[in-house]
Amino acid sequence: MHRIDSATARQNLNGAGKNGFHDNADLPNQDATYLTPAWCNTVQEEVANVIEGFGGALDKLDNKQLLNILTATFAKNTALQNAVDDYIDKFAQQGSRILAVENRIYEDTKVGDVFVTTTHFDTSAQVAIHKGYGTWEREAEGRSIVGYSSKTDSPEWTKTNGNIFGEYDHQLKIDEIPKHDFEIKFVSGTIGGTGIPATDSSSNAPPNLRTNTVGGDKAHNNVQPSKVYNVWKRIA
């Protein structure tokens, strides 16, 4: 494409270096701008190339071929732009949702559930900071955890959820120790220098047949081999 460059073209009519068409009535003995075959062919081929470039065939009776092509092209571009804008909008919405999901604190311990950890926390506030949510209290302090039982042969204390049972140590009672006997030997003389005859077993005499004592009379240790963890229960 080029601008008209005939001898009567008006210089700089459309701006610096941009020739144009003019009747040249203001110039004595100057004809109006006339067309040149080169310029006409340029304009013709520019239009024809657009129509044919979009797959159309030149139609001598159709003066709207270029208009129809431009209209269809702009319509496609508008539809494409709308689709792009819609995609951008949906992407932004999904991006916000994804960001919200990424920033969401996943509450893996519900209210009433227990959190067991090897990390030591001095306060419930420290647990809340660590987990990012919830209100907590210590659970099963100093106690082993026993599973709830529905079996008929299990002790009754295992059939109540949250039941607290057992002792760290226990003083054995008579009916709890193994059944056993002591052998008593009769000897001559007296018992321990007390003057009580060793063989005196009359009904009127004080008890004088005794066995030696054994054992340290200390409480029985009930603690099983254990390992301590921090156990916290979520209460809110």
**pLDDT digits over 108-158, tens only?**
999 999 999 999 999 999 999 999 999 999 999 998 898 999 999 999 999
Q: In this predicted structure, which of 59-63, 136-140, 161-165, 193-197 has the lowest mean pLDDT?
A: 193-197
12 pLDDT band, cuts 50/70/90, is very high
The residues spanned by each domain of the chain are 37-103, 111-202
- How many angstroms from the chain centroid is the CA of residue 51? 57
CA distance 169 to 219: 6
Match 């295992």 to its residue by tokens: 158
Q: Which has the closest alpha carbon to 1: 60, 30, 41, 28?
A: 41
Contact 148, 161 (CB under 8 A): yes
Handedness of CA 149, 155, 160, 163 (dihedral sign): negative
203 pLDDT band, cuts 50/70/90, is very low
Q: How high is the mean pLDDT of the chain?
A: 85
Q: What is the mean pLDDT of residues 162-175?
A: 89
Match 């047949």 to its residue by tokens: 209
Instruction: Note the helical H segments in the chain.
Output: 37-53, 65-103, 124-131
Match 């529905």 to its residue by tokens: 150
Question: Which residues face 233 on adjacent strands?
Answer: 114, 137
User: What global pTM score does this model have?
Assistant: 0.47
Which range is most confident: 10-14, 96-100, 164-168, 191-195? 10-14
CA distance 54 to 224: 89
* CB proximity list for 167: less than 8 A, separation 6 or greater: 222
202 pLDDT band, cuts 50/70/90, is very low
Q: What is the mean pLDDT of residues 175-200?
A: 63
